[in-house]
Amino acid sequence: MCLGIPGKVIDIIDEDGLLMGKIDFAGSVSKACLSYCENVEVGQYVVVHAGFAISVLDEADAEETLQYFKQMTEEAAKDGRDIYDNPLEREKDEIS
């Protein structure tokens, strides 16, 4: 399954001819390649998958998606689950 995460472009950089951006993912900043979204501007949201911005997203859609992620995290926490926990790793540890 592929998952693209929305983030806000806070800076655009040319790295040896490659269009890169600093992307803010709810306070965590990472770099991503912007080559597939050449017309993107600082302040816009992009969907990032595997280090590549794959599309530009309007702010309302980005905020809605981020709200869903927050809601999933909160629901998992209520049940005592960690959404970052990999059940396959847990199973492997239990077998060992």
Rounded-to-integer distance, Cα 81 and Cα 65, Å: 21
**Domains of the chain: which residue ranges?**
5-95
CB 32 within 8 A of CB 41: no
Q: What is the pLDDT of residues 75-93, one digit of tens each?
A: 888 877 766 565 555 544 4
Question: How buried is 3 (Cβ within 10 angstroms: 0-12 exposed, 13-18 middle, 19+ buried)?
Answer: exposed
Q: What is the pLDDT of residues 49-67, one digit of tens each?
A: 999 999 999 999 999 988 8
5-95 belongs to CATH 2.30.30.140: yes
Number of Cα atoms under 13 Å in the Cβ half of residue 5: 16
The pTM for the full model equals 0.75
Structure token digits, residue 73:
């995290």
Q: What is the pLDDT of residues 4-60, one digit of tens each?
A: 889 999 999 999 999 999 999 988 999 999 999 989 999 999 999 999 999 999 999
Structure token digits, residue 56:
């530009």
